[in-house]
A and B are shown apart, each in its own frame.
Chain A
Amino acid sequence: GDSVTQTEGQVALSEEDFLTIHCNYSASGYPTLFWYVQYPGEGPQLLFRASRDKEKGSSRGFEATYDKGTTSFHLRKASVQESDSAVYYCALSDQGQGGSAKLIFGEGTKLTVSS
């Protein structure tokens, strides 16, 4: 079945550091890819999505590029802030192919940014 793998379980950075969180996926079709962010006590909220190869999604300084060749959708930010501390989830959905709208989530990466 479809799956999403996030390499880093936890990432600890200082303010203004560069962030990369790796996300690789496995899917039989041509999925839509998402990044969600979850703050303590809240549900996940959408950062952005991408639906086709080479499409770049971005929001709040975060960005990721859909790469079908390497089946990746790595999250990057040039300069993190303490307020970016949260759990980040990569996810996929094959709803664009007329399939299920359900999301398949990666394990999540807890980002902690210190000042």
Chain B
Amino acid sequence: DAGVTQTPRHEVAEKGQTIILKCEPVSGHNDLFWYRQTKIQGLELLSYFRSKSLMEDGGAFKDRFKAEMLNSSFSTLKIQPTEPKDSAVYLCASSLKLVPQYFGPGTRLLVL
């Protein structure tokens, strides 16, 4: 089976731009997670979907971050507008009940 796919792998944006990151979960998995990873804060949960329903939307990230699950095999994370402090690695993961989360390779975002 294919693992979690994330595109693009690298993104450079100017401050104030809108960027959209994409994720395709492992086929058949019904839980999908978006995380942000930085050296200082470590791994922070941004959003969590179960069967396409939003279960958790990280409080600190609500204003400019919006994750959507358009169908069971595709999710997007929109950051609008971007700020330099958003520079980080964004990780997508998927799982099935009682099956551990599988992570994608991440998208490295740099906001100038």
Contact = CB atoms under 8 A, between A and B. Distances in A.
B70 to A, nearest CB: 20
Given A43-B105, A101-B50, A102-B33, A107 B100 contact: no
Nearest to A41: B105
B42 A107 contact: yes
Nearest to A6: B42
A52 to B, nearest CB: 13
Interface in A90-115: 95-96, 100-103, 105-108
A43 B25 CA distance: 13
B112 interface: no
Contacts, number: 46
Nearest to A48: B100
Query: What does DSSP make chain A's interface, helix, strand, loop or mixed?
Result: loop
Interface residues of A, number: 19
B6 to A, nearest CB: 8
Contacts of B56: 100, 102
Interface stretch (B59-67, B71-79, B91-99): B91-99
Contact of B97 (A42, A49, A95, A103): A95
A101 B103 contact: no
Contacts of A107: 42
B4 interface: yes
B98 A43 contact: no
Contacts of B50: 101
B43 interface: yes
A89 B43 contact: yes
Given A102-B56, A105-B43, 13 more contacts: A43-B93, A43-B103, A44-B103, A46-B101, A46-B102, A49-B100, A100-B48, A101-B48, A101-B95, A102-B48, A103-B101, A105-B42, A108-B43
Interface of B: 4, 31, 33, 42-43, 45, 48, 50, 55-56, 91, 93, 95, 97-98, 100-106
Interface of A: 34, 41-46, 49, 89, 95-96, 100-103, 105-108
